[in-house]
Amino acid sequence: MNYIVNSSEMKACDKGTIEYYGVPSLVLMERAALSVVEAITQQTKKDAAVLIVCGSGNNGGDGVAIGRLLFLKGYDVQIVFAGKKSSASEETRQQLAIAEKYQVPVATEILDKSYDVIVDALFGIGLCRNIEGHYYDLLVQMNQMSGLKVAVDIASGVNGDSGSVMGIAFCADLTVTFAFAKAGHLLYPGASYTGKLIVKEIGIDEHGFLGKLPNVHMLDKEDMALLPERPAHSNKGTFGKVLVIAGTVNMAGAACFSAKAAYRTGAGLVRVLTHQANRTIVQSLVPEAVLTTYEESTETEQKKILECIDWASVIVIGPGLGQNHFSLLLVETVLKNAKVPCIVDADALNLIAKFHLDIGNGETPIIITPHIGEMSRLCRQSIETIKEDAITVAKMYAKEHQVITVLKDARTLTALPDGEVYINTSGNSGMSTGGSGDVLTGIIAGLLCQGCAPELAAPLGVYLHGLAGDHMSRQLGMHSLMASDLIDGISMVLKEGK
What pLDDT was estimated at residue 344? 98
Give, for 138, the enclosing helix (H) or strand (E). Answer: helix 133-144
Please, what are the domains in the chain? 2-214 (3.40.50.10260), 221-497 (3.40.1190.20)
Task: Give pLDDT tens digits along the chain (498 positions).
Answer: 899 999 999 999 999 999 999 999 999 999 999 999 999 999 998 889 999 999 999 999 999 999 999 999 999 999 999 988 889 999 999 999 999 999 999 999 999 899 999 999 999 998 989 999 999 999 999 999 999 999 999 999 999 999 999 999 999 999 999 999 999 999 999 999 999 999 999 999 999 999 999 999 999 999 999 999 888 988 888 999 999 999 999 999 999 999 999 999 999 999 999 999 999 999 999 999 999 999 877 667 888 999 999 999 999 999 999 999 999 999 999 999 999 999 999 999 999 999 999 997 678 999 999 999 999 999 999 999 999 999 999 999 999 999 999 999 999 999 999 999 999 999 999 999 999 999 999 999 999 999 999 999 999 999 999 999 999 999 999 999 999 999 999 999 998 875
N-term to C-term CA, the chain: 17
Residues 6 or more apart whose CB falls under 8 angstroms from that of 384 comprise none
Extract long-range pairs of 356-362: CB within 8 Å, 24+ residues apart. Answer: 357/331, 357/332, 359/335, 359/401, 359/403, 360/401, 360/402, 360/403, 360/417, 361/402, 362/402, 362/417
